[in-house]
Structure 1
Amino acid sequence: MATHRTFSRPNGLCAAVLLAGSLVWGSVHAQAPKYAQRPVKMVVPFAAGGAIDAMARPVADALGRELGQTVIVDNKPGAAGNIGAALVAKAPADGYTLLVGTSATHGANPAMFASLPYDAAADFEPISLWGAVPNVLVVNAAQGARSVPELIEAARREPGKLTYGSAGAGTSLHLAGVMFEKAAKVQLVHVPYKGGAPASMDLLGGNTNMMFDTISVALPNVRAGKLRALAVAAPERHFALPDVPTFAELGLPSVEAATWAGVFVPKGTPAAIVQELNAAFARVMAQKPVQDALRANGVQIQSLQGERFRTFVNGEIKRWGAMVREAKITPE
């Protein structure tokens, strides 16, 4: 009996441990997510090294940690973002292909292109807005105007002579120039380029007179003394350029333009996956390292998920669309 009693307790304990372990394993197994069982692709519809790409990479890294899977940034530039957006619109709605949508793909493009290969509102499910990089009016520091009033005076003195470069027709850089022309009552010449980088290079080379550029891209040249920042196209001064006034401060409050970015999935993605992504991005955007990385690139963070992001997007399509139609902007 003593022998029986000696071994019965360990056996009972062992059985209890095994039972508890099986219950825990069963619980974990039952709660195991059906989503993110393989790498996820995040399509950036613009070239590597640009403002949107710089926003996407720290977010993608953090999302990968949240999902426990690699998130691959896949650059698909071309046609003002339309190529990459169309690719995601036609991708399987399974949560494994995400789109970094912007003020171009989900703002100006629906009005600017007569035949768009996707429907910005109907073909996507908005997941998360990350924030925006305001545009700043810059000139060549060696030969450009020293202030917005001086620039306006020069433009009025010689209508249709001063030029401004942009990353292409219909981009926020171009539309900021249109806003400025209308608000300041001046006539400028738009010079579109295939991207912001060549436009900036020509401004540095003295081939154009001015440019609206994203703060993140212009900032290194401003700090190096190669470009002079005259005004920020935002409601308030930017944290990276605290000494540069806003257009509103200069009496031109309608000049407000920024390049925003957020993530979308194809329409029809299962609600459970959409909810999981909403929650994951909310956690990602709350992380200080992510916020620090975005702010280092000039991003003013604005985290919106789900229906709040949808409302924002619908408003942007309406706002930018009205501007494009009024200015009669077409792809160049």
Structure 2
Amino acid sequence: MALSRRALLAAPPALAAIPAASSAWAQGGAWPSRPIRIILPAPGGGGTADTLARIFANEMEKRLPQPVVIENRGGAAGNVGANLAARAAPDGYTLLWTWAGTMATNPALYRDMPFNPQTDFTPVILLGSVPNILIVNNDFPARTLAEFRDHARANPGAINHGTTGNGSSMHLAAELFASRTETRLTHVPYTAPAAAVTDLLSGRIQSMFNLVTGAQPLVTSGRVRALAVLSEQRVPQLPDVPTATELGMPGLAFGTWFCLMLPRGADPALVARLNTLANEILADPATRQRLEAAGMALDGGGTPERLRDYLAAEIPRHAELVRLSGAQLN
């Protein structure tokens, strides 16, 4: 759901006693006095998260006297890298750049989680989001969101939608649509988005609830038809595509969002400094242009408490969509 209209729920219960940061910061030393690593719980290679994180790290480095290095640690839908960050010292030299799937979806998707998103991390800031968008093959008869819904109602299970796997944002966006519109779609999971796109273009599948970043080149080139963006506001990358809310279907906003975390037990003064730095970066016009060009909606920023409350709201929301989907891993 778009961050601008998220109803923030009450914060989670207070954390149990947490260890004090045994760092130069806690001892009154200067921070940073050595390189900072940002763990990105996904493989490298130019994906949306990787691109956005590197832009942000570059901006941090401009404002700090030490290098800021991205460390890609993929595996288990982000669990491997996030767990590594959770076990790091809370001294400000290991940060986690993470997103909705790892922090909000995985707790419901995985039977055995190696970390708790709410108690094993210290929130720093909510950064922004990338919404999903419904795209269809050009030969598909529905030309509007309402026609897509009506076709799905008249032909239960006949519309195939491709995703990047069980529990992905594409999968949960489709489950949200089906739940809200009382329709039934057929899920076709793929191991990579390129394979799903190939089948969409050939007509083997009829639809995808892709992320805007993946759909933009397909839409602008005319290779697929965009029916609606699942966000509260139109996206600058595709300004002519209406939102589901505009088209009379509120409650369909969905996408992935990004946040910055420290390990549990970080010094509050360090958290405040990083939060101030991150807000400064997000407010910089040139940086905003770079992030927006890479696909991020600039609806983040604010206090660590905003991220804490947002996560508390998102976890049960994602859990319900996972339940509806029937997806389960390990």
TM-score range, shorter chain: 0.7 to 0.9
Question: Identical aligned pairs, as a percentage?
Answer: 38
Which residue number corresponds to residue 37 of structure 2? 41
Give matches, 1:113-132, under 5 Å: 113-132=110-129
Residue 326 of structure 1: CA displacement? 4.2
Deviation at 1:292, TM superposition (A): 0.4
The 8 Å contact of residues 66 and 284 in structure 1, kept in 2 or not, is answered as: no
Instruction: Identify the residue that residue 328 of structure 1 maps to in structure 2.
Output: 326
CA apart distance, 1:285: 1.2
Q: Deviations over 1:163-221 (max 9, x none)?
A: 11112211221111001112222211111223434333332343321111111221112
Do the aligned residues in 2 keep the contact of 1:134 with 1:232 (CA within 8 Å)? yes
Pairwise CA distance, 1:327: 4.0
Residues 1:278 and 1:168: Cα distance change in structure 2 (over 3 Å): same
Q: 1:331 to 1:33 in 2, by over 3 A?
A: same
SS in structure 1 of the partner of residue 191 of structure 2: coil
Offset from partner CA, 1:97-148 (integer Å, 9 cap, x none)? 2111211112111122111111110111111111111110011235564222
Residue 38 of structure 2 aligns with an amino acid whose one-letter code is M
Alpha-carbon spacing, 1:328–1:62, altered in 2? closer, same or farther (3 Å): same
Of residues 179-188 and 259-268 in structure 1, the stretch that sits farther from structure 2 once superposed is 179-188
Return the offset for 1:288.
Answer: 1.3
Matched to 2:36, the amino acid is V
Q: Which has the larger radius of gyration?
A: 1
In structure 2, the gaps of 5 or more residues are: 1-27
After superposition, what is the alpha-carbon deviation per residue over 1:254-299, rounded to whole angstroms, capped at 9, x for unaligned?
A: 2110111011111112333222211211211111121001111232
What is the alpha-carbon distance in structure 2 between the residues aligned to residue 291 and residue 325 of structure 1?
36
Indicate how the Cα distance of structure 1 residues 203 and 304 shifts in structure 2: closer, same or farther if over 3 A, else same: farther
Q: 1:70 to 1:106 in 2, by over 3 A?
A: same
Contact between 2:32 and 2:64, CA under 8 Å: does it hold in 1?
A: yes
One-letter identity of the residue aligned with 2:30: K
**Aligned partners of 2:46 and 2:141: how far apart in 1?**
27
CA RMSD of aligned residues (A): 2.0
Q: Deviations over 1:61-80 (max 9, x none)?
A: 00111122221122222222
- The residue matched to 1:202 in structure 2 has which SS? helix
Distance 1:94 1:147, change over 3 A: same
Change in 2 beyond 3 A, CA 1:144/1:117? farther
Return 322-331 or 220-229, whichever deviates more.
322-331
Q: TM-score, normalised by structure 1?
A: 0.84
Q: Contact conserved, 1:51 with 1:214, CA < 8 A, in 2? A: no
> Which has the larger share of helix?
1
For 1:93, the equivalent position in structure 2 comes to 90
Asked if 1:270 is matched to 2:275, the reply is no
User: Relative to 1, partners in 2 of residues 1:271 and 1:208: Cα closer, same or farther, differing over 3 Å?
Assistant: same
Distance 1:70 1:203 in 2: 42
* Paired letter, 2:215: A
Q: How does 1:144-223 map to 2 (within 5 A)?
A: 145-223=142-220
CA distance in 1, matches of 2:97, 2:311: 13
Alignment pair present for 1:318 and 2:316: yes
The residue type equivalent to 1:307 in the other structure is E
Say whether residues 1:57 and 2:54 are aligned partners.
yes
- CA gap of 1:150–1:127, structure 2 versus 1, over 3 A, is same
- Give the letter aligned to residue 269 of structure 1: A
The one-letter code sitting in structure 2 at the alignment partner of 1:152 is: R
Q: Name the aligned partner's letter for residue 213 of structure 2.
A: S
Unaligned runs of 5+ in 1: 1-31
CA contact (8 A) 1:67 1:280 kept: no
Amino acid in structure 1 at the alignment position of 2:312: N
Cα pair 2:86 2:121 within 8 Å, conserved = yes
Aligned residue pairs total 301
